[in-house]
């Protein structure tokens, strides 16, 4: 495999402190609100945040919620720039995927944190937003409080009190290309689910048919307007957040192949990948396996197809610290879109001493960050490689 390195060019400072003269064209754009707005709507969210300091006029323009919603609608799936992840299940860390600074700090939540009985926990990320849970003690019982935040704009919204138990599974559904509003799905038990809508700022209860959620595994994944879970009874459960209907997609409907979908407990990754909106499934028979399939769900949501056969044997041979391990050679943290915006897939792997990005199609890799000696053991729990990972992409979406 080929290692990729990057270098940054340093810009030379201007010799004198005299600011450059503004051109007539620049003045025309700056004074034409409609033209300026159209230009800014096509600029990445991270740059828009910097533009707030240009002038009070620009600050007012880009801080407007209507501008933010329109910008998010026109840029619904920005490229994932970094990952938040939990080390040892408790310590929150982040890693950049593009060589820039790490994910934004969540210190803006301090006004919320000083009222907490303990630390908050990230439950899910979805198109630039994070769903966060913290503890509250109500009548000597531990209750949950849920907050949706946008790390790019450093805004957060505490949801209306639900009063649910602390460990009830909760999921975020948000597609800015369809609506500026998000929904939260809170699984009460196998028969009931509570839905929160940011449009109405209210919870409502829905009935689940036949207890279908009873044997679901892992976190739900929002993709193509619905939440998906892997489960025993069928290949996946699909919950449409608009119609609020739940259906099962059977194992028998995936395409014919010499490979087969394994049981849910063999899953190493299940999630959305790329701005093209692909739902991927990665499974292996054991945690020492370096050859595995990447499956992709059809757009009609009825079958899995083998997208790529991955063989990491060559990569393993380049890292002595991995090659000497018999078990748990790596933890698959995430699958993201390749850097060239084509059909490539990059696998983000935690290995002893490093977090790396590996492109199996091009047989290339790069180091994203170092891990301190012994830190890799924090990715292994109860005999399984473990990673709670939350992809982050810059977005102006209001909360």
Domain co-membership, 78 together with 177: yes
Domain co-membership, 38 together with 182: no
Domain co-membership, 90 together with 49: no
Lowest mean pLDDT among 21-30, 174-183, 211-220: 21-30
For residue 103, being part of any structural domain is answered with yes
Tally of domains in the chain: 2
Choosing from 38, 63, 88, the residue where a domain stops is 63
pLDDT of 83 reads 93
Q: What is the C-alpha end-to-end distance of the chain, expressed in Å?
A: 43
For 25, 35, 96, 363, the CA distances from 387, given in Å and listed in that order, are 51, 45, 16, 24
- Tell me the angle at which helices 33-40 and 65-74 cross, rounded to the nearest 10 degrees: 50
In 3D space, the residue among 281, 262, 69, 297 whose CA is nearest the CA of residue 175 turns out to be 69
Q: Are strands 2-3 and 364-370 parallel, antiparallel or unpaired?
A: parallel
pTM of the predicted model as reported, rounded to 2 decimal places:
0.84
Domain co-membership, 32 together with 94: no
For residue 101, being part of any structural domain is answered with yes
For residue 398, being part of any structural domain is answered with no
Which tens digit of pLDDT belongs to each residue from 146-182?
A: 999 999 999 999 987 765 666 678 899 999 989 999 9
Q: Which domain holds residue 53?
A: 28-63
For residue 335, being part of any structural domain is answered with yes
For residue 52, being part of any structural domain is answered with yes
Tokens standing for residue 371: 């891990």
Domain co-membership, 316 together with 381: yes
- Left if phi > 0, otherwise alpha if psi is -120 to 50, otherwise beta: which for 163? left
Domain co-membership, 141 together with 202: yes
Domain co-membership, 54 together with 91: no
Domain co-membership, 293 together with 349: yes
pLDDT of 149 reads 95
Highest mean pLDDT among 113-117, 265-269, 286-290: 265-269
What is the C-alpha separation between 91 and 82, in angstroms, rounded?
17
Helix-then-strand count for the chain, H and E? 8, 26
């Amino acid at each position: 495999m080929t290692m990729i390195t990057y270098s940054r060019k340093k810009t030379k400072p201007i010799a004198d402190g005299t600011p450059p003269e503004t051109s007539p064209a620049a003045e025309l754009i700056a004074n034409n609100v409609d033209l300026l707005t159209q230009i800014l709507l096509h600029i990445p969210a991270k740059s828009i945040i910097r533009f707030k300091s240009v002038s009070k006029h620009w600050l007012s323009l880009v801080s407007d919620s209507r501008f933010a919603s329109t910008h998010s609608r026109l840029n619904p799936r920005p490229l994932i720039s970094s990952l938040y992840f939990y080390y040892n299940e408790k310590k929150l860390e982040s890693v950049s995927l593009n060589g820039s600074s790490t994910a934004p700090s969540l210190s803006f939540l301090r006004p919320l944190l000083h009222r907490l009985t303990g630390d908050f926990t990230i439950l899910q990320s979805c198109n630039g937003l994070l769903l966060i849970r913290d503890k509250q003690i109500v009548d000597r019982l531990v209750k949950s409080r849920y907050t949706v935040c946008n790390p790019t704009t450093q805004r957060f919204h505490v949801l209306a009190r639900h009063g649910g138990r602390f460990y009830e599974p909760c999921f975020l559904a948000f597609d800015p290309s369809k609506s500026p509003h998000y929904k939260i799905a809170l699984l009460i038990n196998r028969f009931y689910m509570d839905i929160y809508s940011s449009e109405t700022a209210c919870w409502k209860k829905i009935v689940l048919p036949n207890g279908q959620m009873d044997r679901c595994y892992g976190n739900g994944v929002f993709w193509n307007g619905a939440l998906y879970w892997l489960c025993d009874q069928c290949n996946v459960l699909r919950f449409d957040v608009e119609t609020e209907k739940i259906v099962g997609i059977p194992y028998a409907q995936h395409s014919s192949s010499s490979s087969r979908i394994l049981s849910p407990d063999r899953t190493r990754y299940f999630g959305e990948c790329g701005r093209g909106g692909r739902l991927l499934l990665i499974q292996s028979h054991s945690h020492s396996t370096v050859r595995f399939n990447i499956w992709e769900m059809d757009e009609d949501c009825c079958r899995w197809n083998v997208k790529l056969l991955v063989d990491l044997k060559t990569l393993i041979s380049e890292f002595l610290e991995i090659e000497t391990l018999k078990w748990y050679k790596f933890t698959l943290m995430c699958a993201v879109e390749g850097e060239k915006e084509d059909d490539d897939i990059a696998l983000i792997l935690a290995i002893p001493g490093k977090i790396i990005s590996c492109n199996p199609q091009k047989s290339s890799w790069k180091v994203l960050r170092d891990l301190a000696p012994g830190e890799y053991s924090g990715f292994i729990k109860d005999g399984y490689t473990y990673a709670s990972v939350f992809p982050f992409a810059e977005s102006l979406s209001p909360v």
